[in-house]
Amino acid sequence: MIPAQGRQRGFSKQRDGTAQPDERMSAKPPGNQAGKQPGDPQAIRRRGEREEQARAAQGVDLEALLYDPSPGVLAAVLDNPRLNERHLTVLLARRDLPRETAAAIAQNKEWMKSYRLKAAAARHPRMPQHLAMAQLKYLYLFDLVGISTTAGVPAQVKRAAEDAILSQKEGIALGERTAMARRCSGRIAAALLGDADRRVVEVALGNPGLTGHAVAAAVVRESAFPHLAEAVERHQRWSVLREVRLALLRSRHLPLARLMGILGGLNRRDLADLAEDPRAPASLRSYVQRTLQAQRNPGTQSARKGL
């Protein structure tokens, strides 16, 4: 057994009596794990050299620096006189591009004369919102559509792109409206349900971003065209949803025979609401009222016939 006064400093006693190095004494300080401190002169010098290289690089060396993770190196790359539109497009295609680098590109008025860079800046997920939205007024229709559906783009920028699309909707050609209905966001698809052309409406009903709530709201809108209710009533996806069926019953564009077919499956509360809703056709409300009266008086002939 090793006497306490004879133990070597930095060793601890084990069960078998042997002395082992004390981990608490031999462990290196956390800051020295890599052997370098944050202010290591060599690291600072190498970083400075790399930034100087970035300012003067050309050819493949410049191409490689476009993918550098360091914000400092990327800032130096932006100072390179050989940088052109193609290089800047590569930078803006990086989803991990630092926010400050993206902002520096968008704030350069000379670079932003390029339409290609305007579109890339507007859709970049790390671009400051005010800089992204400033580019929207310069963009063509389908670039706006792309921004409104691109994952990662801030919601405010997407909505601003949608607003820009809706502001010019009336002047968009039929072919472009049809193509847009297939690719656009759910909000734009909902607006296209009010289109005067049946083909646009039918394509918009197939838009994956469209919701049952939006379809129901479009159906009961006073300005809705008759072909909307007809298309929805035949649509495999929408015609089975309860909220859409209730909306169709309040449409004035379907014949009574078609409306009668939708009534099946409604509960008494739905029927009572329908009977009192002035938006529903008068003939349908009258029929529903008689049906409810017959249900309250089972002995009548109407009750025996049922719905």
Question: What token pair was written down for 273?
Answer: 């609401």
Contact (CB, 8 A) for 87 and 107: no
**Overall average pLDDT of the 74-96 stretch:** 97
- Total domain count, the chain: 1
Q: Tell me: pLDDT of 9 over 50.
A: no
Whether residue 278 lies inside any domain: the answer is: yes
> What percent of the chain is modeled with pLDDT above 70?
84
Could you give the CA distance from residue 299 to residue 144 in angstroms, rounded to a whole number? 63
Q: Tell me: pLDDT of 3 over 80.
A: no
Q: Tell me: pLDDT of 171 over 70.
A: yes
Q: Tell me: pLDDT of 166 over 80.
A: yes
Whether residue 277 lies inside any domain: the answer is: yes
Helix (H, G, I), strand (E, B) or coil at 4: helix
Whether residue 263 lies inside any domain: the answer is: yes
Considering only residues 1 and 137, tell me which one the structure prediction assigns the higher pLDDT: 137
pLDDT tier, 38 (very low <50, low <70, confident <90, very high otherwise): low
pLDDT tier, 164 (very low <50, low <70, confident <90, very high otherwise): very high
User: What local confidence, expressed as pLDDT, does residue 82 receive?
Assistant: 96
User: Computed from CA positions of residues 297, 303, 306, 307, in that sequence, does the dihedral angle turn out positive or negative?
Assistant: negative
> What percent of the chain is modeled with pLDDT above 90?
65
Whether residue 302 lies inside any domain: the answer is: yes
User: What local confidence, expressed as pLDDT, does residue 299 receive?
Assistant: 60
Q: Tell me: pLDDT of 98 over 50.
A: yes
User: What local confidence, expressed as pLDDT, does residue 155 receive?
Assistant: 96
Look at residues 246, 187, 238 and name the one whose alpha carbon lies nearest to residue 220: 246
Whether residue 276 lies inside any domain: the answer is: yes
DSSP string, 238-252: TTT-HHHHHHHTT-S
Q: Which domain does 298 fall in, by range?
A: 255-307
Q: Tell me: pLDDT of 26 over 60.
A: no
Could you give the CA distance from residue 148 to residue 222 in angstroms, rounded to a whole number? 28
Whether residue 93 lies inside any domain: the answer is: no
N- to C-terminal Cα distance for the chain? 99
Q: What is the pTM of this model?
A: 0.76
Q: 213-256 pLDDT, tens per residue? A: 999 999 999 999 999 999 999 999 999 999 999 999 998 898 88
Whether residue 283 lies inside any domain: the answer is: yes
The region of weakest confidence among 112-126, 159-173, 249-263 is: 249-263
Q: Tell me: pLDDT of 202 over 60.
A: yes
Residue 207: C-alpha distances to residues 175, 204, 236, 268 (Å): 16, 5, 13, 33
Whether residue 189 lies inside any domain: the answer is: no
Average pLDDT over the chain, rounded to an integer: 86
Q: Tell me: pLDDT of 50 over 80.
A: yes
Residue 161: C-alpha distances to residues 35, 118, 190, 299 (Å): 51, 13, 15, 61
